[in-house]
A and B are shown apart, each in its own frame.
Chain A
Amino acid sequence: MKKRIILSLLVTSFLFADAEMDAIKEALQVQKEATLKLEAKLNTLEQKNTNQSASFSQNAYLPDMALILNMSTLSRNISNSDYTTSAIPGFIDSGEMNFPFNKDRGFNLNYAEFAMHSVVDPYFEAFANFHLHPEAFEIGEAYVQTTSLAYSLRIKAGKFKSSFGRMNQKHQHSWNFDSQALIYKALFGPDSISDAGVQLQWIAPIDTYLMFGTEAMQGTNGRSFGDSSSNNLYIGYVKSSVDIGDDLSILGGISYAHGKNTTSNATDIYGVDLTFREQLGSYSALIWQSEYLYRDMTLSDTKDKQAGFYSELIYQYNNNYSFGTRYDRITKNETDLSMYSGVDTDNLDRYTVKIDYKPFPMSRLRLSYTYDRSRIIVDERKNVSEVMLSLNIAAGAHGAHDY
């Protein structure tokens, strides 16, 4: 009996074990199926979520690019053919003047400029702007600039506009008037000091803005320099600025350029600039900007001393309208003026007034009137009167301008 009981117990336990195993197997099978289902689901989801972007797309690294167009319509009291022969006595002889902007009565397309900016890597930024004139292609500027040098130093290299003075480094479309300041035109021509070279700038670690800069350039500008047998132009400047309250800021600078002219003799140019800006609101300001330039140029047989200044007052009324007036004057003209004998070459000056209308920050219409008393045209002192309407647009990714 005992034996039987034990045996039956044993059998039942086996049977139970069998049943348990079946149950586990079944559960396992269910779980396996569920896992397979989940896996299948995951696979389809993964396929959906797979990044399908092009393997070699670099669109996100495209440089900032902008198209700048500048055009005008103008009327002038001098015929186009006479105007191209005009001279500024002592500075630019007849036939030697360049007219890249607003040359003709009637319509002018001055340029289409293609401007690019991009961060190169963690150490460099690159800038370029290509000037496309109706008859010429020009690399306006093309340079690299460091972003992360120690001691707040910055090096720029390539072709660039010198930071000499106040107006020199600005592009034509960001000038306050469409025409170049008379003294800049007389000393440097339309491109100002723009050359291949290197620049080093440093800002002092104090609360007041105090910047020192020095440049070495090729010196290809034939008006003041032009001896390009080797790099011959050296420039230095100091700029400083103070704020008086929230609204008034004053920026001043002194600049010096030393180079060799086409006669291989020395040219020295000294510049002083001063800008006051009183902010009258978010969109309204009064700006008074002046600059004085003095040139000492040794030629084969003469030592020329020439100087001049401009002073401009801009009243920005709101974000749409701005008014401005500028006075230009040659204050010193000690040079050989014998070729103009019998012609009055004193009191060379110019008056300009303008109204800007900006429907949007990217476009600008400008109406200006210029009365230019600095020209000799066909061997006669002739005053030039000019009324001009110009349009400038900057389309695309155009960076903000400096102060």
Chain B
Amino acid sequence: MKKILLLLLAFSTIVSASLRVETTYTTLGAITEEIGGDLVHVHVLGSSKYDPHFIVPKPSLLAKLRRADLLIMNGGGLELGWLPPLIRGANNAKIQNGAKGFLDISHFIPMIDVPTSVSRGFGDVHAQGNPHYSTDPHMVPLIAKAIAQKLEAIDSNNSRLYAKNLDIFLSKWKNYLKKFDIKMDECKDKKVVQYHELFNYFLKRYNYKSYGNIEPLPGIAPSSKHTIALINTINKNHIKNILQDVYHERKTSKFIASKTGAKVLLIPHDMGATGSKTLEEFYNTIAKNICK
């Protein structure tokens, strides 16, 4: 009994000694673990099973945020529908917008698809641009640098360790990207349609062309009129690939596939969405499935 108590005590001190970091999504969490190593205790708020726009603001997440030393969010409006009430409810001064323990990664990313005008009449568009940048593996170094810089700032005693971890990670990732880009070069069919504009960063990086989306407007469910128009586009342009994410219904893409002969490719939007356990596995799955 004494032993267990001692063990528990030792364990709790280890946990409390490390920095508590909450990230909104899984890819951000994995990169934080690479940079933070044993110095941080990372928890992810939003499961990659679900649409990242619609994470349920469960009260249990309040308990996590209440004790967080650092909140790392994706930004670009992706968390607008669920995170603000949680930050408000957690009563944690450290992670308020503008406080030291608040990090919006989108501020470090060259955002694409920034609309020149916004209206809810265009559907659920993000005024800051397309927020789904983490599908592009070339964004990972930018994310890692932003996280390292933040960790060094709030835990300056260990800043050397974070800098070292960053160096190791960046060189590892450089090698990975070299091989990854070679693999992607072998992919010749560059025509796709997608459900939601989830993969634009990846598609732009590897010179793909997206001819349209299954949803008529961002956040609006498919309509028959729009689906028929998309089928015509696919037939006219001889498109073979329909990019499907894990959380939208698959009936529409299967229907489109049956009418056009195109293939439905299941592409993860975030680490773990199709079971990947590491960053490399996540991007490899995107590459593998898009090049089928």
Contact = CB atoms under 8 A, between A and B. Distances in A.
Contacts of A241: 58-60, 63
Interface in A182-212: 201-211
Nearest to B62: A209
Contact of B221 (A154, A206, A251, A319): A319
A209 B66 CA distance: 9
Nearest to B89: A402
A285 B123 CA distance: 23
B67 interface: yes
Contacts of B64: 207
Contacts of A150: 93
A97 B134 CA distance: 56
B213 to A, nearest CB: 16
B232 interface: no
Interface stretch (A46-54, A76-84, A242-250, A266-274): A242-250
A401 B60 contact: no
Chain A CB within 10 A, most for which of B59, B99, B220, B249: B59
A285 B57 CA distance: 13
A282 B93 contact: no
A6 interface: no
Contacts of B96: 122, 147-148
B59 A251 contact: yes
Contacts of B81: 361, 400
A283 interface: yes
A64 to B, nearest CB: 10
Nearest to B220: A360
A319 B50 CA distance: 13
B247 A400 contact: no
Contacts of A145: 88
Nearest to B97: A119
Chain A CB within 10 A, most for which of B49, B54, B58, B247: B58
Interface in B82-122: 82-85, 88-93, 96-99, 120
B60 A249 contact: yes
A209 B93 contact: no
Contacts of A153: 91
B281 interface: no
Nearest to A155: B91
B91 A242 contact: no
Nearest to B248: A282
B56 interface: yes
Contacts of B47: 246
A239 B62 CA distance: 12
Given A148-B93, A152-B66, A318-B221, A282 B59 contact: no
Interface string B32-74: 0000000000000001011100101111101110110000000
A152 B220 contact: no
Contact of B91 (A201, A281, A400): A201
Given A147-B96, A209-B59, A360 B90 contact: no
A401 B98 CA distance: 22
Interface in B189-226: 219-221
- What bracket does the count of chain B residues touching chain A fall in? 35 or more
B280 interface: no
Chain B CB within 10 A, most for which of A149, A206, A283: A283
Given A205-B66, A210-B63, A403 B93 contact: no
A355 B175 CA distance: 55
Contacts of B14: none
A362 interface: yes
Interface string B232-250: 0000000000000001110
A125 interface: yes
Contact of A202 (B82, B91, B120, B124): B91
Contact of B90 (A125, A203, A242): A203
B168 interface: no
Contact of B59 (A154, A202, A239, A399): A239
B56 A279 contact: yes
Nearest to B57: A403
A207 B58 contact: no
A402 B57 contact: yes
B63 A206 contact: yes
A122 to B, nearest CB: 7
B90 A208 contact: no
A279 B49 CA distance: 11
A395 B249 CA distance: 28
B84 A148 contact: no
A148 B88 CA distance: 10
B222 to A, nearest CB: 11
A260 interface: no
A362 B98 CA distance: 28
A263 interface: no
A202 B247 CA distance: 35
Contact of B54 (A122, A207, A283): A283
B276 to A, nearest CB: 17
B221 to A, nearest CB: 6
A205 B56 contact: no
Contact of A125 (B54, B88, B249): B88
A78 to B, nearest CB: 39
B63 A208 contact: yes
B80 interface: yes
Interface in A124-157: 125, 145, 147-150, 152-154
Contact of A360 (B63, B84, B89, B219): B219
B268 to A, nearest CB: 14
Contacts of A399: 84-85
A401 B54 CA distance: 12
Interface of B: 47, 49-51, 54, 56-60, 62-64, 66-67, 80-85, 88-93, 96-99, 120, 123-124, 219-221, 247-249
Given A154-B91, A211-B59, A403-B57, 7 more contacts: A148-B93, A148-B99, A239-B59, A249-B58, A279-B56, A283-B54, A402-B85
20 contacts: A122-B96, A147-B88, A148-B99, A152-B92, A203-B62, A203-B90, A203-B91, A208-B60, A241-B59, A241-B63, A246-B49, A279-B50, A282-B247, A285-B56, A319-B221, A361-B124, A362-B120, A399-B84, A403-B58, A403-B85
